[in-house]
């Protein structure tokens, strides 16, 4: 009897050891799973390099390392809006676990999948675009960062009026093409409303974003005697920032931008969120989703910090003096 009892104990220990080994094996397999993150952008790799670096750095802080537990597959539409849906389809076929998208790309990604989570790194008003039911409860497969509209545009025009004496006529660079779509239309509605409230006349300049087309647009702006330029924001416009900033200097036109990346290329002044910070915040959403959270339950966030950046070198080149009270409010000044 004692022998039988001992045998049972030994068998029990063996079974326990086997179960523990199986559990450890399952945990090891689970921990070595490599998650697939797709990235979709309307612009170019060079235009997005710094933003993606910020995203990758933040992902590493959450414990995600490329080649170890995540793969990031990049897709750039190279300023060709018709490529966005096919590229989004490629990421779906690649079986991405989550798609990070910017600019107008979230709309393209949503057209091809209603199940794969989509995290918006920066772009349009998600509620107005019909991608989220509300900020608090998106309700679908899209969440992330949503850019404030009317408040920011009104603020930019107000700053521009402080900087440019007797400002009464502003040229608005609008991107030509089917891909301009909903996001640009939202911006134009907001710009028109802000201009009306501030008693500023608008001259709308529809243009492609290649250097020759932009040159023609700026020449028209100069002929129409506009006092300043505002480009509509977008990933494609950001990719053309160097050309736009150079032309604004050439035609001695003060220009107000949303992204401070324009200022680093010689633009005059920008007011808006820090987009590198938005990409870092996008990593938070991706981390939550990879850990099991549903995008429908992750509240959409809006930027809370906005930066005023001024390039005094450019101001000098175009013969403009920045008022001391505006300069004092700047978060960053290039001298």
**CATH classification number, 34-147+275-297, choose in 3.20.20.140, 3.40.50.20, 3.40.50.2300, 3.40.1030.10:** 3.40.50.2300
pLDDT at 150: 60
Which are the contacts of 296, defined by CB distance < 8 A and separation ≥ 6?
137, 138, 139, 140, 141, 143
Which are the contacts of 145, defined by CB distance < 8 A and separation ≥ 6?
120, 121, 122, 123, 278, 281, 282, 300, 301, 302, 303
Mean of the per-residue pLDDT values for the chain?
89
Going through 5-83 in order, the beta strands assigned E by DSSP cover: 35-41, 70-76
pTM of the predicted model, to two decimals? 0.81
pLDDT per position as a tens digit, 186-232: 788 889 998 999 999 999 999 999 999 999 999 999 999 999 999 98
Distance of CA 116 to the CA centre of its chain: 19
Cα separation, 156 vs 251, in Å, equals 21
Q: Give the count of alpha carbons within 13 A of 283, CB side only.
A: 22
Q: What six digits make up the tokens of 101?
A: 């998208």
Higher local confidence (pLDDT), 88 or 32 = 88
Say whether pLDDT at 17 is over 90: no
* Band (2; pLDDT cuts 50, 70, 90): very low
Fold match between 34-147+275-297 and 150-273+306-334? Answer: yes
Counts of helices then strands in the chain (DSSP H, E): 13, 12
Contact yes or no for 309/335 (Cβ under 8 A):
no
Contact yes or no for 250/188 (Cβ under 8 A):
no
Which residue has tokens 């022998």?
3
Per-domain residue ranges of the chain: 34-147+275-297, 150-273+306-334
Which of these, 36, 34, 35, 39, lies nearest to 100 by C-alpha position?
Answer: 39
- Percent of the chain exceeding pLDDT 90 equals 69
pLDDT per position as a tens digit, 20-54: 555 554 444 445 799 999 999 998 999 899 999 99
> Which range in 112-126, 228-242, 315-329 is most confidently predicted, on average pLDDT?
315-329
CATH architecture for the domain at 150-273+306-334: 3-Layer(aba) Sandwich (3.40)
Contact yes or no for 202/174 (Cβ under 8 A):
no
pLDDT per position as a tens digit, 140-193: 999 999 876 667 888 999 999 999 988 999 999 998 865 555 667 778 888 999
């Amino acid at each position: 009897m004692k022998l039988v009892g001992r045998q049972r104990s030994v068998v029990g220990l063996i079974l326990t050891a086997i179960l523990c080994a199986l559990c450890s094996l399952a945990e090891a397999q689970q921990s070595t799973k490599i998650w697939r993150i797709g990235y979709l952008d309307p612009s170019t790799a060079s235009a997005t390099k710094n933003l993606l670096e910020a995203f990758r750095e933040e992902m590493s802080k959450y414990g995600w390392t490329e080649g170890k537990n995540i793969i990031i597959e990049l897709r750039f539409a190279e300023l060709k809006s018709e490529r966005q849906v096919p590229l989004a389809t490629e990421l779906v076929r690649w079986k991405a676990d989550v798609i990070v998208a910017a600019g107008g790309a979230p709309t393209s990604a949503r057209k091809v999948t209603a199940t794969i989570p989509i995290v918006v790194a920066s772009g349009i008003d998600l509620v107005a675009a019909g991608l989220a039911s509300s900020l608090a409860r998106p309700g679908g497969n899209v969440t992330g960062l949503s850019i404030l509209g009317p408040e920011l545009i009104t603020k930019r025009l107000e700053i521009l009026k402080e900087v440019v004496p007797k400002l009464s006529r502003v040229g608005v660079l609008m991107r030509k093409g089917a891909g301009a779509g909903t996001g640009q239309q939202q911006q134009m509605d907001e710009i028109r409303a802000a201009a009306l409230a501030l008693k500023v006349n608008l001259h709308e300049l529809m243009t492609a974003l290649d250097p020759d087309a932009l040159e023609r647009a700026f020449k028209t702006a100069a002929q129409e005697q506009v006092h300043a330029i505002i480009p509509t924001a977008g990933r494609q416009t950001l990719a053309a920032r160097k050309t736009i900033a150079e032309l604004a200097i050439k035609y001695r036109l003060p220009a107000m931008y949303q992204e401070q990346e324009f200022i680093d290329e010689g633009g005059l002044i920008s007011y808006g969120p820090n987009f590198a910070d938005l990409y870092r915040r996008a990593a938070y959403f991706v981390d939550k989703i990879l850990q099991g959270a549903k995008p429908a339950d992750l509240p959409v966030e809006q930027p809370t910090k906005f930066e005023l950046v001024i390039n005094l070198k450019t101001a000098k080149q175009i013969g403009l003096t920045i008022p001391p009270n505006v300069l004092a409010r700047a978060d960053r000044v290039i001298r």
